[in-house]
Homo-oligomer: A and B are copies of this chain.
Amino acid sequence: MGTHLLLYYFCRPKNTNVRLKLPFVCFAWQIAMIILFGVFVRYNNESDAHWVQNMAQNNITSAIENDFYYRYPSFQDVHVMIFVGFGFLMTFLKRYSFGGVGFNFLIAAFGIQWALLMQGWFHSLDPSTGKIYIGIENLINADFCVAGCLIAYGAVLGKVSPVQLMVMTLFGVTLYAVEEYIILNLLHAIDAGGSMIIHVFGGYYGLAISWVLYRPNLHQSKHLQGSVYHSDTFAMIGTLFLWMFWPSFNSATTYHGDGQHRAAINTYLCLTSCVLTTVAISSLSQKTGKLDMVHIQNSTLAGGVAMGTAAVFMVSPYGALIVGFCCGILSTMGYLYISPFLEKTLKIHDTCGIHNLHAMPGVIGGIVGAITAATASESVYGMQGLINTFDFTGNFKDRTVFAQGGYQAAGMCVAMVFGIGGGAIVGAILRFPIWGDPADENCNDDDVYWEEDQLESVPPILEYCNYMTNKPEDES
């Protein structure tokens, strides 16, 4: 009996009670947001009621020239990707659908606010007034920023507490804003759809955290890993909304006119070819040619990731198809060979396979961007087109396309360093035993953080008997 007590003491279940921690974090951070917004954030010129008066001065003849009309439809598509796309993609686990879509909702809502501030300080701060002026483009960028953290969530899905996720998002957004500033402003790299800034950073950030938080005994909740029929169908909602709206994602912040137009076309094409090679490799990998839902849900999206940097470039339609072709193969191969390797050898458990969907395709996107930038020419772009596409203005007026290619490559390295380094540090912080994370046997289980007094959908016994009676006999 003494042994029992001893055993209990050492093996007692982790304390997953977040009754004080979670509300405290939510309240404290929300109040901080309100104070900081009060001090810093104002409407920008185009969302301020003075805009009509300023129109005449700025030579604007019609309200349709308000940036709102250029960007709002794309913004809403991006918004759907963040909340429904990422959220439902993570409902595939059989007993973690609430955690997938619910915590995604929570951290995205928080991250957006913090991103508006962090990105505002770096990009939209007017030094003369000390204020951040926000408009529709800031909202899109905040959604982008949060996407990096949601990607990272994919690696640790089912294994962390909501408090840990909030901490991860706080640091993730902060790191994102810094690396974004370095890549976009200092290096002046182009990354409209964020292959590097969002996907490489977010992917490695998540993987590094997952590596630090590695659970050697995760097999104790093995019965809750994997999906069931309907949870896989729910996940397809996420997949499809991400897939359909990715052209909006990559074109949302590119320059008006042909820039947005071309970015949408390139992404659309890249994604279509990605679907076909994903199906091909998935089918090849099984003895009887069956398809694996995991591949269809994830690898079909790799093309959108890889087009992020080069979407606005003149990669030409067949170039976009080639990128998608390669990404579908590589990403599916990743699920088949690299994920098991990461888990066994490097001890990185990656619940959603973000290495295959975000990190690797992001690296490809960065490389494609660097090469296509370095080989850009005035004959293909036109002189003004070259200036528009690469924003060769101001300090960067005299940069050559070849140099631009080099800076693009440098940008990718920065993203990777921030992801791995930042993730390792944040992972260490998340190891403190104060965040209410679940025990190994409680991973992937909504019961830990969600109230469920409702019964599962149990068939009334009558229907059950009915079924057994009508059940078709085996014809083996």
**A79 interfacial by beta-carbon distance below 8 Å:** yes
Complex partner residue of A293 from B69, B98, B292, CB under 8 angstroms: B98
For A37, the closest partner residue in chain B by CB is B318
The 9 nearest A-B residue pairs measured at CB: A49-B385, A19-B289, A63-B257, A109-B275, A26-B280, A51-B258, A63-B256, A38-B318, A37-B318
Of A367-375, A395-403, A417-425, A445-453, the segment with at least 4 beta carbons within 8 Å of chain B is A445-453
Cβ-defined contact, A280 with B317, below 8 A: no
Complex partner residue of A26 from B95, B236, B276, B296, CB under 8 angstroms: B276
Name, among A245, A288, A456, the residue most crowded by chain B CB atoms within 10 Å (CB to CB).
A456
**A230 interfacial by beta-carbon distance below 8 Å:** yes
Query: Shortest Cβ distance from A375 into chain B, in angstroms?
Result: 14
For A466, the closest partner residue in chain B by CB is B455
Which residues of B lie under 8 Å from residue A2 when comparing CB positions? none
Query: Shortest Cβ distance from A173 into chain B, in angstroms?
Result: 13
Given contacts A229-B457, A463-B455, contact A240 B317 (CB under 8 A): no
Cβ-defined contact, A102 with B262, below 8 A: no
Which residues of B lie under 8 Å from residue A388 when comparing CB positions? 49, 52
Complex partner residue of A276 from B30, B276, B296, CB under 8 angstroms: B30
Given contacts A80-B244, A84-B237, contact A73 B70 (CB under 8 A): no
A 38-65 to B, binary, CB cutoff 8 A, 1 in contact else 0: 1001110011111111010000001111
Cβ-defined contact, A47 with B261, below 8 A: yes
Cβ-defined contact, B228 with A456, below 8 A: yes
**A232 interfacial by beta-carbon distance below 8 Å:** yes
Name, among A41, A46, A279, A459, the residue most crowded by chain B CB atoms within 10 Å (CB to CB).
A279
Which residues of B lie under 8 Å from residue A293 when comparing CB positions? 98, 102, 450-452
**A10 interfacial by beta-carbon distance below 8 Å:** no
Cβ-defined contact, B19 with A288, below 8 A: yes
* Number of A positions contacting B (CB below 8 A): 161
Cβ-defined contact, B280 with A23, below 8 A: yes
Given contacts A101-B236, A264-B72, contact A241 B20 (CB under 8 A): no
Cβ-defined contact, B113 with A321, below 8 A: yes
Q: Give the CA-CA distance A162 to B278 in the complex, in Å.
A: 14
Cβ-defined contact, A243 with B83, below 8 A: yes
Name, among A47, A79, A268, the residue most crowded by chain B CB atoms within 10 Å (CB to CB).
A47
Q: Give the CA-CA distance A29 to B273 in the complex, in Å.
A: 10
For A110, the closest partner residue in chain B by CB is B276
Which residues of B lie under 8 Å from residue A457 when comparing CB positions? 94, 228-231, 456-457, 459
Cβ-defined contact, B264 with A43, below 8 A: no
Cβ-defined contact, B233 with A98, below 8 A: yes
A 11-42 to B, binary, CB cutoff 8 A, 1 in contact else 0: 00000111111110011011101110110011
